[in-house]
Amino acid sequence: MSETTLKPREHWSGSLGFILAAAGSAIGLGNIWKFPYITGENGGGAFVLVYLLCIAIIGLPVMICEIAVGRRTQRNPVGAFHELSPPTSLVAHGIGLAVLLTGLSLLVFRTWGWGVVLTVLGLLIFRFGWTVAGFMGVLAGFTILSFYSVVAGWTIGYIVEALAGRLRFAEVAEAESFFGTFMQDPRWAIGCHLVFMAMCVAIVYGGVRKGIERWSKILMPLLLLLIMALIIRSVTLPGAVEGVRFFLRPDFSRINAHSILVALGHAFFSLSLGMGAMITYGSYMDRDQNILGAAFSIVVLDTLIALMAGFAIFPAVFAYGFRPGAGPGLVFIVLPTVFHRMPLGIFWAALFFVLLLIAALTSGISLLEVVTAFFVDERKWPRHRAALVLGAAIALLGVLCAVSVADWSRLAALQTTLTWAFGTARDSFFDLMDHISSNWLLPLGGLLISVFVGWIWGTKRAVDEIRHGSQNFADVHLVSLLAGLKDDPSHNASVHIVTLASLWGIFIRFISPVAVLIAFLHTVGWLDFKSSPPEMPPPATEAPAWPSAAE
Residues that bind ligand TRP (CB under 6 A): 25-26, 28-31, 269-270, 272, 275, 277, 363, 366-367, 442
Task: Output 270 or 439, the one with its CB closest to ligand TRP.
Answer: 270
Cα–Cα distance, 227 to 363 (Å, whole number): 17
d(CA 438, CA 267): 12
Please state, in angstroms and as integers, the Cα–Cα distance from residue 279 to each residue in 273, 361, 378, following that order. Answer: 9, 19, 15
Q: How far is the CB of 262 from ligand TRP (least distance, A)?
A: 14
Rounded CA-CA distance 9/11 in Å is 6
Closest approach of ligand TRP to the CB of residue 156, in Å: 16
Burial class (CB in 10 A: 0-12, 13-18, 19+), 260: buried
**CB contact at 8 A, 122 and 97:** yes
CB nearer to ligand TRP: give 363 or 480.
363
**Interior/surface letters 526-536, b for 16+ CB within 10 angstroms, e for the rest:** eeeeeeebeee
Minimum CB distance to ligand TRP smaller for 271 or for 291: 271
Q: Which is nearer to ligand TRP, 434 or 465 (CB)?
A: 434
State the minimum distance, in angstroms, from the CB of residue 124 to ligand TRP. 21
> ω into residue 547 within 30 of 0, thus cis?
yes
Please, are residues 55 and 267 in contact by the beta-carbon 8 Å criterion?
A: yes
Q: Name which of 214, 272, 223, 268 is nearest 26 in CA terms.
A: 272
Tell the smallest beta-carbon distance from residue 31 to ligand TRP (Å).
Answer: 5
- Closest separation in Å from C-beta 270 to ligand TRP: 4
Q: Measured from the CB atom, is 312 or 425 closer to ligand TRP?
A: 312
Nearer to ligand TRP, 100 or 365 (CB): 365
Handedness of CA 38, 42, 45, 50 (dihedral sign): negative
To ligand TRP, the closest distance from the beta carbon of 81 in angstroms equals: 16
What is the torsion angle, in degrees rounded to the nearest 10, for the CA atoms of residue 415, residue 419, residue 420 and residue 422?
Answer: 130
* Least Å from the CB of residue 144 to ligand TRP: 6
Let me know: does 359 contact 31? Beta carbons within 8 Å: yes
Q: Cβ 503 to ligand TRP, closest distance in Å?
A: 25
Closest CB 278 distance from ligand TRP, rounded Å: 8
What gap in Å lies between CA 454 and CA 508, rounded to an integer? 6
Instruction: Answer for the pair 4, 216: CB distance below 8 angstroms, yes or no.
Output: no
What's the Cα-to-Cα distance from 54 to each of 41, 62, 265, rounded to whole Å?
18, 11, 9
The residue among 267 and 453 lying less far from ligand TRP, judged by its C-beta, is 267
**What is the distance between the alpha carbons of residues 348 and 230, in angstroms, rounded to a whole number?**
8
Is the Cβ of residue 118 or residue 448 nearer to ligand TRP in the bound state? Answer: 448
Rounded to 5 degrees, what are φ and ψ at 477?
-65, 120
Residue 26 beta carbon to ligand TRP: minimum distance, rounded to whole angstroms: 5
In the bound complex, what is the minimum distance in angstroms from residue 8's beta carbon to ligand TRP?
Answer: 26
| E strand or H helix at 108 | helix 90-108
Residue by residue, DSSP assigns 194-237 as HHHHHHHHHHHHT-IIIIIIHHHHHHHHHHHHHHHHHHHHHHTS
Query: Which one, 126 or 154, has the nearer CB to ligand TRP?
Result: 154
Closer of 84 and 442 to ligand TRP (Cβ): 442
Cβ nearer to ligand TRP, comparing 269 with 375: 269
Angle at 279 between CA 277 and CA 282, to 5 degrees: 110
Q: Between residues 41 and 176, which has the closer beta carbon with respect to ligand TRP?
A: 41
Q: What DSSP element (H or E) covers 520? A: helix 512-523
CB of 246 to ligand TRP, least distance (A): 22
